[in-house]
């Protein structure tokens, strides 16, 4: 009988001890997350449909651009963000179609989202039922939504409007497209979508999405200073990446998506970008960009 009581006490203390260790481990993980280095992290994810981009600013603001065409984005977010957190500061639908927004509907239903950004309807562009459902979900959840076009800046770290911007170094995005119809002639191949350049101190990352050559040339005519990284959701072939855009931005790194790599002759526009600085997310799955404000590091994860 004494032995039985002793075994019960031992099991009780084992359970208590294990519980304490679990609590300490979780607390330690949360603490480590809270003291993360003051760096900008950008994850370019190869999800079905349009690739997704997750931005995590030095102040731990979290912005998701696009969500792909199914719920795969949920797994990617779970793998990337702390397991205990189900919060995003912002979601942005850079393209008004289901290939970019189906996954965002799942995100809205599973995460607490503070605000959203969508493409300004500058051209009465036809939309599909999935994108319409995305818009309805934003409305039903009462998520503050803003249309973005070329006159906008987004201050990710402090939500500061343009007119109240401070001198503090923050993570921000300049919206380069869509343009007003008086400034750009749209077509079936060149439709409104959000193109932005993300800036953190002395570093910048240009996100061109699925922009056509025509749109890329328009962007090239508007920006003349270099970008460290060019992120394009299409092939790196000359037929997809405009020579004018490469020349005007002089990127050191290129992140792109293609099933079959084009030949060297068909990528002559990229002669200035070293082969080791080109990352195909179709092969790697996810590429992580890290900026300390002065330098950029990129790796496959």
pLDDT in tens, the chain (301 residues): 555 555 655 666 556 655 554 444 444 444 444 455 789 999 999 999 999 999 999 999 999 999 999 999 999 999 999 988 899 999 999 999 999 999 999 999 999 999 999 999 877 888 899 999 999 999 999 999 999 999 899 999 875 544 344 456 789 999 999 999 999 999 999 999 999 999 999 999 999 999 999 999 999 999 988 999 999 998 889 899 999 999 999 999 999 999 888 888 888 989 899 999 999 999 989 999 999 999 999 999 8
Can you spell out the DSSP letters for 91-152? EE-SSSSHHHHHHHHHHHHHSEEEEEEEE--SS-----HHHHHHHHHHHHTT-EEEEE-TT-
Q: What are phi and psi of 259, to 5 degrees?
A: -75, -45
Measured torsion, CA atoms of residues 271, 277, 283, 286, in degrees rounded to the nearest 10? -140
For Cα atoms 67, 179, 234, give the angle at the middle one, nearest 5 degrees.
45
Q: What are phi and psi of 223, to 5 degrees?
A: -125, 135
Domains of the chain: which residue ranges? 1-35, 37-300
Q: Does domain 37-300 have CATH number 3.60.15.10?
A: yes
Q: What is the pLDDT of residue 74?
A: 97
CB 162 within 8 A of CB 61: no
Which are the contacts of 247, defined by CB distance < 8 A and separation ≥ 6? 220
Q: How many other C-beta atoms are found inside a 10 Å radius of the C-beta of residue 114?
A: 14
Environment class of residue 128 by beta-carbon count within 10 Å: exposed (0-12), middle (13-18) or buried (19+)?
Answer: middle
Rounded Cα distance, 219 and 178, in Å: 10
């Amino acid at each position: 009988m004494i032995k039985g009581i002793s075994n019960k006490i031992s099991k009780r203390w084992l359970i208590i001890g294990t519980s304490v260790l679990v609590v300490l481990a979780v607390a330690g993980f949360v603490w480590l997350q809270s003291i993360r280095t003051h760096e900008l992290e950008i994850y370019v994810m190869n999800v079905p449909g349009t690739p997704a981009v997750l931005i995590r600013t030095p102040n731990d603001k979290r912005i998701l651009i696009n969500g792909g065409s199914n719920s795969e984005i949920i797994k990617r977010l779970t793998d990337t963000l702390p397991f205990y957190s189900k919060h995003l500061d912002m979601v942005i639908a850079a393209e008004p179609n289901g290939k970019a927004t189906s996954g965002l509907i799942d995100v809205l239903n599973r995460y607490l989202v503070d605000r959203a950004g969508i493409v300004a309807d500058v051209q009465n562009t036809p939309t599909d039922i999935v994108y319409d459902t995305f818009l309805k979900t934003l409305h039903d959840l009462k998520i503050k939504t803003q249309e973005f076009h070329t006159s906008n800046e987004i201050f990710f770290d402090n939500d500061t409007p343009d007119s109240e911007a401070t001198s503090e170094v923050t993570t921000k995005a300049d919206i380069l497209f869509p343009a007003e119809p008086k400034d750009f002639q749209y077509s079936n191949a060149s439709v409104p979508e959000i193109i932005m350049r993300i800036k953190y101190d002395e570093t910048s990352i240009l996100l061109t999405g699925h922009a056509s050559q025509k749109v890329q040339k328009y962007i090239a005519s508007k920006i003349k200073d270099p970008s460290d990284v060019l992120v394009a959701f299409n092939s790196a072939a000359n037929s997809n990446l405009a020579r004018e855009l490469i020349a005007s931005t002089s990127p050191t790194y290129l992140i792109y998506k293609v099933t079959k790599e084009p030949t060297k002759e068909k990528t002559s526009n990229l002669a200035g970008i070293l082969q080791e600085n080109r990352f195909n997310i179709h092969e790697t799955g996810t590429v992580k960009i890290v900026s300390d404000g002065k330098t950029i590091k990129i790796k496959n994860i």
